Amino acid sequence: VCSTIPRTISVRNPSSMTLQDFIDYLCNNADYQMKSPGLTTNIDGQNKTLYMSSVKCIEEQTRSNLTLSLHELNFKDGQEIIVADATNPNTVVIKLKFTENEVEMY
């Protein structure tokens, strides 16, 4: 049995990082090199598809999430995102680590 150990990604500012930024990171980072990742998560006990480009009707329903910040998507420090991509036969679990202060400073 394979266990999926979460891989941690540090996020400096979840209020300014959009879901598209996160996907771009997964595609451009040498550790991941994904092509078109599909992302799901669990928010308040509900499984939620964040974005999936491989299925046209789901892509259309989730496209608006791409412009939302991680904060607007109600992500919390420690949030786990399940990522599926053609480059990896197994899903990857990514745990977000927010490194910003909870209070916004201006």
Q: What is the pLDDT of residue 100?
A: 66
Q: Which two tokens stand for residue 67?
A: 């412009």
Q: What is the pLDDT of residue 23?
A: 97
Cα(106)–Cα(94) distance, integer angstroms: 30
Q: What is the pLDDT of residue 102?
A: 52
Contact 34, 85 (CB under 8 A): yes
Q: What is the pLDDT of residue 88?
A: 87
Mean pLDDT rounded to a whole number for the chain: 90
**pLDDT tens-digit series, residues 3-12:** 578 999 999 9
Q: Where are the alpha helices (DSSP H) in the chain?
A: 19-28, 56-62
Rg (alpha carbons) of the chain, rounded to whole number: 14
Q: What is the pLDDT of residue 3?
A: 56
Cα(43)–Cα(79) distance, integer angstroms: 8
Residues with pLDDT less than 70, the chain = 1-3, 100-106
The H or E element spanning position 64 is none
Proportion of the chain above pLDDT 70, given as a percent: 91
